[in-house]
Every structure is written in structure tokens, then in C-alpha cells.
């Protein structure tokens, strides 16, 4: 049995609103991590996703600027981790 078009539209709108809230929350989390100089790998780890998926997700949300910023922190983070492990 199929839903009436009105019910389907309401259900679809609710799903889209929930997806938009999740996207906004994830973007806010990434922006916060950037203020703390997180790398792409560390941000993905904290968000429990792969770096590749995080890149694709942010790209689909039109936030490739965040991907570039995370990547620019990559060498700093790797250097800092190496330095900490040495001492």
C-alpha cells in the first residue's frame, strides 16, 4: 500500500530537515576542530569516519574550503605527533 502524496511529501520534508541538521552539526564540529588545528585524519577519526568519506561529505555540502583547511593542518599535526613521540 502506498502513501498518499501529501503524506509522502511531509515524510520526505522531515527526512530532509533531519539530514540538514546533521550536516550543519558536522560542519560546526569540523569548524571547531579547525580552530584547534586538527588534521583531516584526526578530524575523521573523531567523527568516526574515514578521511576519504569526510572529504566527499564536505565536498557534497559545498564546503571544500574546510577540506583544504584540514589538509593544510596535516603536516603540522604529523610533525607534532612525531615530536611528542620522540620525547
Q: What angle do CA 31, 34, 39 make, to 5 degrees?
A: 125
Q: Say yes or no to pLDDT of 80 above 50.
A: yes
User: What pLDDT was estimated at residue 2?
Assistant: 65
In the chain the first and final C-alpha atoms are separated, in Å, by: 66
Q: Please write the tens of the pLDDT for every residue from 20-77.
A: 999 999 999 999 999 999 999 999 999 999 999 999 999 999 999 999 999 998 875 5
- List the chain domain ranges: 5-86
Cα–Cα distance, 10 to 12 (Å, whole number) = 5
Q: What angle do CA 76, 45, 19 make, to 5 degrees?
A: 120
User: What pLDDT was estimated at residue 78?
Assistant: 57
Give me the residue label for grid cell 564536505.
58
Rounded to 10°, the helix 64-72/51-60 angle is 140
User: What pLDDT was estimated at residue 4?
Assistant: 72
Amino acid at each position: 500500500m502506498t502513501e498518499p502524496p501529501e503524506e509522502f511529501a511531509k515524510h520526505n520534508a522531515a527526512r530532509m530537515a533531519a539530514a540538514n541538521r546533521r550536516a550543519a552539526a558536522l560542519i560546526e564540529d569540523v569548524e571547531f576542530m579547525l580552530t584547534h588545528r586538527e588534521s583531516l585524519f584526526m578530524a575523521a577519526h573523531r567523527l568516526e569516519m574515514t578521511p576519504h568519506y569526510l572529504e566527499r561529505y564536505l565536498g557534497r555540502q559545498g564546503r571544500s574550503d574546510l577540506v583544504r583547511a584540514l589538509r593544510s593542518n596535516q603536516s603540522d599535526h604529523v610533525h607534532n605527533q612525531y615530536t611528542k613521540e620522540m620525547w
